[in-house]
Amino acid sequence: MGKMDQLKRRAVTWHLALSLLLSIALAAWLLLHWFPAPFSFAAGALTGLVIVVSVDMCLGPMLTLLLIHSKKSLRENIFDGVVVATLQFSALAYGLWQVSLARPAAVVFWQDSFYLVKAFDYQERYGTQPDLSKLSSESVPVIYARYPLLLSELEQLERDIKVGIVPFENKALYRKVAEGLAEIRKSPLDINVLLAKYANLQQQLDSLATKQEQKDLIYSRLHSDYGTYLLVLDMSGKLVGLLKLPA
């Protein structure tokens, strides 16, 4: 096998270096804005990062390796470079759009558990993502979905369910989490049972609060596509943290 063409080698090296810098910047931005802690892994941030980094680090440099060559004229190499950049950024834009739909849009309590709702879920139901900033100041809004109190509300809920709108995605039920603290406290989750069952859970909990503080916290399950978690709130309804429960 002959040596790699010198121009090709330089082009691939620079392309890999620039792609690496772009991947690092995008990964940091995704984790800060679309998949913020503590919901990063519960929302599938790792999957999103794999998609973005794979497209950025593989597609462009591979095309550069195949197309750029010193035997081609300057005009041909420039044209090939533009084609490679266009394809790479188009694929990256599509990948980012797909990842944006998977980002966590809200964490909603319904009946006895919290549920992680993705941007795609709202997009599918309403065509856009609702503004929940008035209900929660968290980076990922923590919301309480109130069970209907009136017959008319209950009938509307039943109609919504029939057309595919599950209660924890039904924005008409949304209230501030503080309004549902009494119900959330009644959640049938015994933290002492979980601590006895999962050996490493106490260590995770100790990283969030002292032993004394742990007695004054509210614990509830959080269901997501990537597993079941333990959501921890203080007595005012402010988010304290999120712990992964073993399968």
| Alpha-carbon torsion, ordered 233, 234, 235, 238, to 10 deg | -70
| Amino acid found at 181 | L
> What pLDDT, on the 0 to 100 scale, is given for residue 6?
84
Predicted pLDDT of residue 3: 52
Of the candidates 157, 170, 164, 218, the one whose C-alpha atom is nearest the C-alpha of residue 191 is 218
CA distance 168 to 142: 12
- Cα 151 from Cα 153, distance rounded (Å): 5
Question: 125 is written with which tokens?
Answer: 């139901």
Q: What pLDDT score was predicted for residue 148?
A: 92
Distance CA 72, CA 77 (A): 6
Which pLDDT does position 1 carry in this prediction?
40
pLDDT score, position 2: 47
The span from the CA of 67 to the CA of 158, in Å, is: 59
Per-residue pLDDT of the chain (247 residues; tens, 9 = 90+): 445 588 888 888 898 898 889 888 988 998 898 999 888 888 888 888 888 888 778 888 888 888 888 888 888 888 988 998 898 888 888 888 888 888 999 999 999 999 999 999 999 888 888 999 999 999 999 999 999 989 999 999 999 999 989 999 999 999 999 999 999 988 778 888 888 888 888 888 888 888 878 888 999 999 998 888 999 999 889 999 999 887 6
